[in-house]
Amino acid sequence: MFSASQEEHCAPNKDPVAYGQLVVLGYNGSLPNGDRGRRKSRFSLYKRAKANGVKPSTVHVINTPQASKAVNCKGQHSVSYTLSRSQTVVVEYCHDKETDMFQIGRSTESPIDFVVTDTVSGGPGGEETPVTQSTISRFACRVVCERSPPYTARIYAAGFDTSRNIFLGEKAAKWKNPDGHMDGLTTNGVLVMHPRGGFTEESKPGVWREISVCGDVHTLRETRSAQTRGKLVESESNVLQDGSLVDLCGATLLWRTADGLFHTPTLKHIEALRQEMNAARPQCPVGLNTLAFPSMQRSRDLTALEDKQPWVYLSCGHVHGYHNWGHRSEREPNALRECPMCRTVGPYVPLWLGSEPAFYVDSGAPTHVFVPCGHVCSEKSAKYWSEIPLPHGTHAFHAACPFCATQLGTTQGCAKLIFQGPID
């Protein structure tokens, strides 16, 4: 017989419970300079060894700044609502053993679990371009997951800083609800969109809403930083669903549940599809040379063009190898080209396989291309993302390629690829 310690040692290690994953739109599998520490293109949320969730407890109405400091010195979490120079409402939060909390923001300080910086759409060669002034909050939002099945995940605006405080200043939108509890919005807001029909082949875009500090759902403000809040939407909640999008005004995150990821195509599946396409030996209809999609590792480096790289005329979808004719403008050689197969004039770009599995709504073959960036994925995935209006700046919305964040064409977001097989 084993002793207790031997039994424990011999027992298989239990896999940690996975709550889900947050994936930043605009990165094709990893950050341009590689994923490092808390700064990466995706963040997996696992059940913590010890619960670190918090929930509202005591409310203090404070009329002097000194008293406010006294409340905040206890080392416990709190949210401060500054109503005027002479009055602040401080809501203390106590430990919640039933939940785990994960914080997301631009800050690299220890309270932040997932460091997110501004996404630069379609940067040349996929390189990171420094943003001079970020619009993402240092402590942008927090996701709170229940430690018991079904492991419900909820999102809240704002995260607790190093002193365990969320501070809403005089100019922040804030109010007292009819039931007496205080609530507010962050400067640029945390927007959420739950897709209709889940994250499947049948999914349709939902409606963008704003989430408050206490997790209530509101219609959008007139602009991101307007001081007047939108209307309360009581029929909706802050519970994240598979495929929910979270926008932090500078970066958009996709939430995938553990169950959703289980049914998502794997990297191995996408690699098998790539090899299958290459095994069909597609040919350039003009040069008659065999084309081949580059490996997924090379697909993340948009400068690593290869001789066999497939190119496409986006207006018609005809796939070719690279050639140097058909220019319609000497000033911008690649802006407009005439397809030698059908004489259609349009952009001519290299094709890249979309290699972030979380963005696929199905396991279909990569038959469609996003316009104008050239990223390739399944038909249903391409059409789904082409229909989603993603927040851009402080008040604009437009569809974008999930793999590189390039704004999609307004008249044509994606196109079907037309390959020519081998003549022999």
**pLDDT tens profile 295-348:** 866 555 556 567 789 999 999 999 999 877 656 555 555 568 889 989 899 899
The pLDDT, as a whole number, for residue 8 is 33
The pLDDT, as a whole number, for residue 279 is 92
List Cα–Cα distances, 31 to 286, 297, 342, in angstroms.
36, 12, 38
Rounded Cα distance between 227 and 222, Å, is: 9
Q: Which residue has the tokens 């998502």?
A: 264
Residue 357 makes CB contacts below 8 A (sequence gap 6+) with 264, 265, 266, 267, 269, 270
Q: What is the DSSP string of 173-216?
A: -EEE-TTS-EEE--SS-EEEEPPBT-SSTT-B---EEEE-TT--
Interval 15-28: pLDDT, tens: 889 999 999 999 99
**Where is pLDDT greater, at 145 or 227?**
145
Rounded Cα distance between 259 and 19, Å, is: 9
The pLDDT, as a whole number, for residue 12 is 42
Which helix (DSSP H) or strand (DSSP E) does residue 235 occupy?
none
The pLDDT, as a whole number, for residue 324 is 77
Rounded Cα distance between 177 and 191, Å, is: 20
Rounded Cα distance between 226 and 274, Å, is: 47
The pLDDT, as a whole number, for residue 334 is 53
Cα end-to-end distance, the chain, whole Å? 68
What's the token pair of residue 190?
């945390």
pLDDT category of residue 275 using cuts at 50, 70 and 90? very high
Q: Residue 334 in contact with residue 363, Cβ under 8 Å?
A: no
pLDDT category of residue 135 using cuts at 50, 70 and 90? confident
**Where is pLDDT greater, at 306 or 125?**
306
pLDDT category of residue 126 using cuts at 50, 70 and 90? very low
Classify 70 as helix, strand or coil: helix
Buried b (16+ CB within 10 A) or exposed e, 54-88: bebeeebebeeeeebeebbeeebbbbbbbeeeeeb
What's the token pair of residue 140?
């942008």
